[in-house]
Structure 1
Protein backbone atom coordinates (compact mmCIF):
# COMPACT_ATOMS: atom_id res chain seq x y z
CA UNK A 1 0.00 0.00 0.00
CA UNK A 2 1.26 3.43 -0.88
CA UNK A 3 0.29 6.37 1.30
CA UNK A 4 0.33 10.06 0.44
CA UNK A 5 3.03 12.09 2.25
CA UNK A 6 0.14 14.23 3.52
CA UNK A 7 -1.57 11.26 5.21
CA UNK A 8 -2.67 12.04 8.76
CA UNK A 9 -0.66 10.52 11.58
CA UNK A 10 -1.26 9.90 15.26
CA UNK A 11 1.59 8.80 17.52
CA UNK A 12 0.88 7.20 20.89
CA UNK A 13 3.91 6.69 23.12
CA UNK A 14 3.93 4.04 25.81
CA UNK A 15 5.48 4.67 29.20
CA UNK A 16 7.22 1.30 28.94
CA UNK A 17 8.45 -0.97 26.19
CA UNK A 18 6.04 -3.63 25.01
CA UNK A 19 7.22 -7.21 25.24
CA UNK A 20 7.52 -9.00 21.90
CA UNK A 21 4.38 -11.03 22.74
CA UNK A 22 2.45 -7.85 23.62
CA UNK A 23 3.70 -6.14 20.48
CA UNK A 24 2.49 -9.02 18.27
CA UNK A 25 -0.92 -9.06 19.99
CA UNK A 26 -1.29 -5.27 19.67
CA UNK A 27 -0.25 -5.33 16.00
CA UNK A 28 -2.96 -7.93 15.39
CA UNK A 29 -5.57 -5.70 17.12
CA UNK A 30 -4.41 -2.68 15.12
CA UNK A 31 -4.61 -4.65 11.84
CA UNK A 32 -8.17 -5.77 12.58
CA UNK A 33 -9.11 -2.19 13.44
CA UNK A 34 -7.48 -0.46 10.45
CA UNK A 35 -8.90 -3.04 8.02
CA UNK A 36 -12.45 -2.15 9.07
CA UNK A 37 -11.97 1.53 10.03
CA UNK A 38 -14.66 3.65 8.43
CA UNK A 39 -15.77 7.28 8.37
CA UNK A 40 -19.50 7.76 7.67
CA UNK A 41 -19.61 4.38 5.97
CA UNK A 42 -16.56 5.05 3.80
CA UNK A 43 -13.61 2.75 4.26
CA UNK A 44 -10.46 4.54 5.34
CA UNK A 45 -7.12 3.75 3.76
CA UNK A 46 -5.30 3.16 7.02
CA UNK A 47 -2.42 1.30 8.55
CA UNK A 48 -0.81 1.01 11.95
CA UNK A 49 2.54 -0.06 13.30
CA UNK A 50 4.64 -0.15 16.44
CA UNK A 51 8.12 1.37 16.30
CA UNK A 52 10.91 0.74 18.78
CA UNK A 53 8.51 -1.19 21.01
CA UNK A 54 7.15 2.09 22.43
CA UNK A 55 5.26 3.96 19.71
CA UNK A 56 1.88 3.03 18.24
CA UNK A 57 1.48 4.91 14.98
CA UNK A 58 -1.80 5.21 13.09
CA UNK A 59 -1.81 6.51 9.51
CA UNK A 60 -4.80 7.48 7.37
CA UNK A 61 -4.53 8.54 3.74
CA UNK A 62 -7.36 11.01 3.27
CA UNK A 63 -7.15 10.94 -0.52
CA UNK A 64 -9.64 8.04 -0.36
CA UNK A 65 -11.91 9.28 2.45
CA UNK A 66 -11.60 11.92 5.14
CA UNK A 67 -11.32 11.06 8.81
CA UNK A 68 -14.27 12.28 10.88
CA UNK A 69 -14.70 13.03 14.57
CA UNK A 70 -16.50 9.72 15.02
CA UNK A 71 -13.76 7.75 13.28
CA UNK A 72 -11.10 9.47 15.41
CA UNK A 73 -13.14 8.67 18.52
CA UNK A 74 -13.19 4.99 17.54
CA UNK A 75 -9.39 4.96 17.23
CA UNK A 76 -9.04 6.63 20.64
CA UNK A 77 -11.33 3.97 22.14
CA UNK A 78 -9.05 1.28 20.70
CA UNK A 79 -5.94 2.96 22.14
CA UNK A 80 -7.65 3.23 25.55
CA UNK A 81 -8.52 -0.48 25.39
CA UNK A 82 -4.87 -1.27 24.66
CA UNK A 83 -3.86 0.91 27.61
CA UNK A 84 -6.13 -0.98 29.98
CA UNK A 85 -5.36 -4.44 28.66
CA UNK A 86 -1.57 -4.00 28.75
CA UNK A 87 -1.35 -1.66 31.77
CA UNK A 88 0.48 1.11 29.93
CA UNK A 89 0.02 4.87 29.67
CA UNK A 90 -0.37 5.99 26.06
CA UNK A 91 -1.77 9.49 26.63
CA UNK A 92 0.74 11.11 29.00
CA UNK A 93 2.26 13.91 26.92
CA UNK A 94 4.66 14.69 29.79
CA UNK A 95 6.60 11.48 29.15
CA UNK A 96 9.63 12.27 27.01
CA UNK A 97 11.33 9.80 24.69
CA UNK A 98 14.93 10.04 23.57
CA UNK A 99 17.69 7.80 22.27
CA UNK A 100 20.87 6.68 23.94
CA UNK A 101 22.91 5.15 21.11
CA UNK A 102 20.10 3.22 19.36
CA UNK A 103 18.17 2.44 22.52
CA UNK A 104 14.94 4.36 23.18
CA UNK A 105 14.38 5.64 26.72
CA UNK A 106 11.19 7.11 28.12
CA UNK A 107 11.11 9.26 31.23
CA UNK A 108 8.87 11.81 32.89
CA UNK A 109 9.28 15.55 32.33
CA UNK A 110 11.07 16.16 35.64
CA UNK A 111 13.66 13.43 35.07
CA UNK A 112 14.11 14.58 31.47
CA UNK A 113 14.77 18.10 32.74
CA UNK A 114 17.37 16.74 35.17
CA UNK A 115 19.07 14.81 32.35
CA UNK A 116 19.25 18.00 30.27
CA UNK A 117 20.56 19.91 33.29
CA UNK A 118 23.37 17.40 33.98
CA UNK A 119 24.19 17.24 30.23
CA UNK A 120 23.22 13.60 29.77
CA UNK A 121 20.83 14.88 27.13
CA UNK A 122 22.85 17.10 24.82
CA UNK A 123 21.88 19.30 21.86
CA UNK A 124 22.63 16.31 19.60
CA UNK A 125 20.58 13.72 21.54
CA UNK A 126 17.78 12.37 19.35
CA UNK A 127 14.32 13.10 20.78
CA UNK A 128 10.87 12.17 19.48
CA UNK A 129 8.36 14.77 18.34
CA UNK A 130 5.09 12.88 18.79
CA UNK A 131 3.11 15.93 17.69
CA UNK A 132 3.82 15.30 13.99
CA UNK A 133 0.64 15.45 11.94
CA UNK A 134 1.54 13.96 8.56
CA UNK A 135 3.41 10.95 7.22
CA UNK A 136 5.95 13.30 5.67
CA UNK A 137 6.57 14.92 9.08
CA UNK A 138 6.80 11.49 10.70
CA UNK A 139 9.53 10.55 8.25
CA UNK A 140 11.41 13.86 8.49
CA UNK A 141 10.62 15.54 11.82
CA UNK A 142 9.73 12.79 14.29
CA UNK A 143 13.26 11.78 15.31
CA UNK A 144 15.28 14.98 15.59
CA UNK A 145 18.25 16.31 17.53
CA UNK A 146 17.22 17.98 20.78
CA UNK A 147 18.55 21.33 19.48
CA UNK A 148 16.06 21.20 16.54
CA UNK A 149 13.03 20.10 18.57
CA UNK A 150 10.25 21.76 20.51
CA UNK A 151 11.92 20.24 23.60
CA UNK A 152 14.81 22.71 23.27
CA UNK A 153 12.34 25.60 23.51
CA UNK A 154 10.71 24.20 26.65
CA UNK A 155 14.05 23.37 28.30
CA UNK A 156 16.06 26.29 26.81
CA UNK A 157 16.87 27.69 30.23
CA UNK A 158 18.98 24.58 30.91
CA UNK A 159 21.19 24.75 27.81
Structure 2
Protein backbone atom coordinates (compact mmCIF):
# COMPACT_ATOMS: atom_id res chain seq x y z
CA UNK A 1 0.00 0.00 0.00
CA UNK A 2 1.35 3.34 -1.03
CA UNK A 3 1.80 5.99 1.68
CA UNK A 4 3.23 9.48 1.37
CA UNK A 5 7.01 9.40 1.79
CA UNK A 6 7.04 12.01 4.56
CA UNK A 7 4.54 9.91 6.55
CA UNK A 8 6.92 6.97 6.85
CA UNK A 9 8.52 6.55 10.29
CA UNK A 10 12.21 7.04 11.03
CA UNK A 11 12.75 3.28 11.38
CA UNK A 12 11.59 2.55 7.80
CA UNK A 13 13.95 0.42 5.72
CA UNK A 14 15.51 2.17 2.71
CA UNK A 15 16.95 1.19 -0.68
CA UNK A 16 18.62 3.70 -3.00
CA UNK A 17 18.77 3.24 -6.77
CA UNK A 18 20.90 5.52 -8.92
CA UNK A 19 20.28 5.90 -12.63
CA UNK A 20 23.14 6.41 -15.02
CA UNK A 21 21.59 9.66 -16.25
CA UNK A 22 18.96 12.19 -15.24
CA UNK A 23 15.32 11.75 -16.26
CA UNK A 24 13.65 14.18 -18.59
CA UNK A 25 10.15 15.44 -17.67
CA UNK A 26 8.33 12.64 -19.49
CA UNK A 27 10.56 9.97 -17.96
CA UNK A 28 10.11 11.43 -14.49
CA UNK A 29 6.32 11.35 -14.87
CA UNK A 30 6.53 7.77 -16.16
CA UNK A 31 8.74 6.66 -13.25
CA UNK A 32 6.40 8.29 -10.72
CA UNK A 33 3.33 6.64 -12.22
CA UNK A 34 5.04 3.27 -12.52
CA UNK A 35 6.41 3.26 -8.98
CA UNK A 36 3.22 4.57 -7.37
CA UNK A 37 1.33 1.59 -8.80
CA UNK A 38 4.13 -0.86 -8.01
CA UNK A 39 4.37 0.29 -4.39
CA UNK A 40 0.57 0.28 -4.10
CA UNK A 41 0.57 -3.41 -5.10
CA UNK A 42 3.73 -4.34 -3.15
CA UNK A 43 3.26 -7.18 -0.69
CA UNK A 44 5.12 -9.83 1.27
CA UNK A 45 3.46 -13.23 1.16
CA UNK A 46 0.12 -11.63 0.31
CA UNK A 47 0.26 -8.99 3.06
CA UNK A 48 0.45 -5.37 1.79
CA UNK A 49 3.62 -3.44 2.58
CA UNK A 50 3.42 0.19 3.69
CA UNK A 51 5.90 1.77 1.34
CA UNK A 52 6.75 4.81 -0.68
CA UNK A 53 9.39 6.35 -2.89
CA UNK A 54 11.08 9.65 -3.54
CA UNK A 55 12.95 10.89 -6.58
CA UNK A 56 16.02 13.00 -5.87
CA UNK A 57 18.10 15.02 -8.32
CA UNK A 58 15.94 13.63 -11.14
CA UNK A 59 18.23 10.60 -11.08
CA UNK A 60 18.05 8.79 -7.75
CA UNK A 61 15.07 6.84 -6.47
CA UNK A 62 14.70 6.13 -2.78
CA UNK A 63 12.36 3.29 -1.83
CA UNK A 64 11.24 2.93 1.79
CA UNK A 65 9.01 0.52 3.67
CA UNK A 66 7.66 0.57 7.23
CA UNK A 67 8.66 -2.88 8.45
CA UNK A 68 6.78 -2.39 11.73
CA UNK A 69 3.62 -2.55 9.61
CA UNK A 70 4.86 -5.74 7.91
CA UNK A 71 8.42 -6.84 7.11
CA UNK A 72 9.67 -7.04 3.55
CA UNK A 73 10.55 -10.60 2.58
CA UNK A 74 13.21 -11.83 0.18
CA UNK A 75 10.55 -12.23 -2.49
CA UNK A 76 9.17 -8.72 -1.97
CA UNK A 77 12.68 -7.24 -2.11
CA UNK A 78 13.32 -9.21 -5.30
CA UNK A 79 10.05 -7.83 -6.67
CA UNK A 80 11.20 -4.26 -5.99
CA UNK A 81 14.51 -4.97 -7.71
CA UNK A 82 12.46 -6.25 -10.63
CA UNK A 83 10.75 -2.86 -10.92
CA UNK A 84 14.10 -1.28 -11.69
CA UNK A 85 15.07 -3.95 -14.17
CA UNK A 86 11.75 -3.35 -15.94
CA UNK A 87 12.14 0.43 -15.82
CA UNK A 88 15.69 0.11 -17.15
CA UNK A 89 14.46 -1.98 -20.07
CA UNK A 90 11.56 0.36 -20.85
CA UNK A 91 13.61 3.54 -20.52
CA UNK A 92 16.99 2.42 -21.86
CA UNK A 93 18.71 3.25 -18.57
CA UNK A 94 20.79 1.57 -15.90
CA UNK A 95 19.39 1.78 -12.36
CA UNK A 96 22.24 -0.24 -10.94
CA UNK A 97 24.90 2.33 -11.76
CA UNK A 98 27.76 2.25 -9.27
CA UNK A 99 29.37 5.53 -10.22
CA UNK A 100 30.27 7.99 -7.50
CA UNK A 101 27.59 10.69 -7.57
CA UNK A 102 28.80 14.18 -6.69
CA UNK A 103 25.94 16.52 -5.79
CA UNK A 104 26.26 19.97 -7.37
CA UNK A 105 23.24 22.13 -6.56
CA UNK A 106 20.26 20.20 -8.00
CA UNK A 107 22.30 17.93 -10.26
CA UNK A 108 24.59 14.94 -10.07
CA UNK A 109 27.97 14.55 -11.69
CA UNK A 110 28.92 10.89 -12.02
CA UNK A 111 32.47 9.63 -11.80
CA UNK A 112 33.48 6.02 -12.51
CA UNK A 113 34.03 4.08 -9.30
CA UNK A 114 37.40 2.77 -10.44
CA UNK A 115 38.68 6.28 -11.12
CA UNK A 116 37.52 7.93 -7.89
CA UNK A 117 41.01 8.24 -6.39
CA UNK A 118 42.19 10.13 -9.47
CA UNK A 119 39.09 12.36 -9.41
CA UNK A 120 39.86 13.25 -5.79
CA UNK A 121 43.55 13.85 -6.56
CA UNK A 122 42.50 16.17 -9.40
CA UNK A 123 40.33 18.15 -6.95
CA UNK A 124 36.92 17.39 -8.49
CA UNK A 125 35.83 15.93 -5.15
CA UNK A 126 37.12 17.27 -1.85
CA UNK A 127 36.44 16.30 1.77
CA UNK A 128 33.42 18.62 2.03
CA UNK A 129 31.88 17.68 -1.33
CA UNK A 130 28.40 16.22 -1.05
CA UNK A 131 28.11 12.64 -2.26
CA UNK A 132 24.88 10.75 -2.92
CA UNK A 133 25.85 7.66 -0.93
CA UNK A 134 24.20 4.41 -2.05
CA UNK A 135 23.30 3.01 1.37
CA UNK A 136 21.82 4.25 4.61
CA UNK A 137 20.81 2.46 7.82
CA UNK A 138 17.17 3.58 7.81
CA UNK A 139 14.95 6.52 6.97
CA UNK A 140 16.22 8.53 9.95
CA UNK A 141 19.78 8.15 8.65
CA UNK A 142 18.64 9.12 5.15
CA UNK A 143 16.81 12.19 6.42
CA UNK A 144 19.72 13.44 8.51
CA UNK A 145 22.86 12.25 6.68
CA UNK A 146 22.04 12.12 2.98
CA UNK A 147 23.72 13.28 0.89
CA UNK A 148 26.88 12.95 2.94
CA UNK A 149 30.10 14.91 2.92
CA UNK A 150 32.79 12.85 1.21
CA UNK A 151 34.86 12.81 4.42
CA UNK A 152 31.89 11.22 6.24
CA UNK A 153 31.26 8.58 3.58
CA UNK A 154 33.08 5.49 2.40
CA UNK A 155 35.39 7.91 0.56
CA UNK A 156 36.92 9.09 3.85
CA UNK A 157 39.95 6.84 3.35
CA UNK A 158 41.09 9.15 0.56
CA UNK A 159 41.14 12.19 2.86
CA UNK A 160 42.96 10.73 5.89
CA UNK A 161 46.45 11.72 4.71
CA UNK A 162 45.31 15.20 3.73
CA UNK A 163 43.88 15.95 7.18
CA UNK A 164 46.97 14.88 9.17
TM-score (norm 1): 0.91
**Structure 1 position 10, deviation (Å):** 0.5
SS in 1 for 2:9: coil
Asked if 1 retains the 8 angstrom alpha-carbon contact of 2:102 and 2:129, the reply is: yes
**Structure 1 position 158, deviation (Å):** 7.6
SS in 2 for 1:26: helix
List gaps (5 residues or longer) in structure 2: none
RMSD between aligned alpha carbons? 1.7
Distance 2:146 2:46 in 1: 32
Moved over 4 A (4+): 156-159
Distance 2:137 2:109 in 1: 22
Q: Which residue of 2 aligns with 1:105?
A: 109
Q: 2:96 aligns with which of 87, 91, 98?
A: 91
Q: Which residue of 2 aligns with 1:134?
A: 138
Q: Deviations over 1:44-79 (max 9, x none)?
A: 101112111110111100111110011011111111
SS in 2 for 1:133: coil
Asked if 1 retains the 8 angstrom alpha-carbon contact of 2:127 and 2:159, the reply is: no
Match status 1:146 vs 2:144: no
Asked if 2 retains the 8 angstrom alpha-carbon contact of 1:116 and 1:158, the reply is: no
Asked if 2 retains the 8 angstrom alpha-carbon contact of 1:45 and 1:65, the reply is: yes
Match status 1:73 vs 2:55: no
Q: Which residue of 1 aligns with 2:129?
A: 125
Q: Deviations over 1:13-62 (max 9, x none)?
A: 01111111101101100000111111111111011121111101111001
**Structure 1 position 90, deviation (Å):** 1.3
**Structure 1 position 109, deviation (Å):** 1.6
**Structure 1 position 111, deviation (Å):** 4.2
List gaps (5 residues or longer) in structure 1: none
Q: Which residue of 1 aligns with 2:35?
A: 30
